[in-house]
């Protein structure tokens, strides 16, 4: 009987271990299932992020191209503006110079007895010349 009881106890222990092993296998199967779901979800997120990144890269390239065009246009306009202001300064200086030459030549032609009052170039014109000249160094 002792031997029968020992075998019965051993059998019960083995059944208990087998039950524990089955329980552990079920837990692991649930964990594997959960990990597969998580992996699937993360793959979807990775796909979405990858697509978003490609879109942002395309957007960045587009903005860089637009910036390049705007910068080139800006530089071209700056150059044209400088040319225009230079021409304006030169014309104003020529006008002022011609007024001075005319004044000097008229003074030589007019006899000393005759008094002619000559006015200097228009003050607005001289102010404009001064402002334009102060912008540029020749």
Q: Please report, for the chain, the start and end positions of each structural domain, with discontinuous segments joined by +.
A: 2-135
* pLDDT tens sequence for the chain (138 residues): 788 899 999 999 999 999 999 999 999 999 999 999 999 999 999 999 999 999 999 999 999 999 999 999 999 999 999 999 999 999 988 888 876 666 555 555 545 555 545 555 566 666 666 666 666 544
Encoded tokens for 90: 């030169």
11: left (phi over 0), alpha (psi -120 to 50) or beta: alpha
Distance between terminal CA atoms of the chain? 124
Name 136's Cβ contacts closer than 8 Å, sequence gap at least 6: 82, 85, 86, 89
Position 24 scores a pLDDT of 97
pTM for the model: 0.48
Position 4 scores a pLDDT of 87
Position 124 scores a pLDDT of 66
């Amino acid at each position: 009987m002792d031997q029968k009881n020992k075998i019965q106890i051993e059998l019960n222990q083995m059944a208990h271990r087998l039950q524990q092993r089955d329980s552990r296998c079920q837990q692991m199967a649930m964990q594997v299932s959960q990990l597969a779901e998580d992996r699937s979800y993360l793959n979807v997120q990775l796909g979405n992020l990858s697509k978003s990144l490609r879109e942002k890269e395309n957007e960045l390239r587009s903005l860089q191209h637009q910036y390049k065009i705007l910068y080139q246009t800006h530089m071209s306009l700056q150059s044209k503006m400088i040319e225009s202001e230079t021409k304006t300064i030169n014309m104003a200086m020529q006008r002022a110079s011609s007024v001075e030459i005319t004044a000097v030549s008229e003074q030589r032609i007019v006899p000393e007895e005759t008094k002619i009052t000559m006015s200097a170039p228009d003050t607005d014109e001289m102010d404009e010349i001064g402002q334009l000249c102060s912008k540029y160094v020749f």
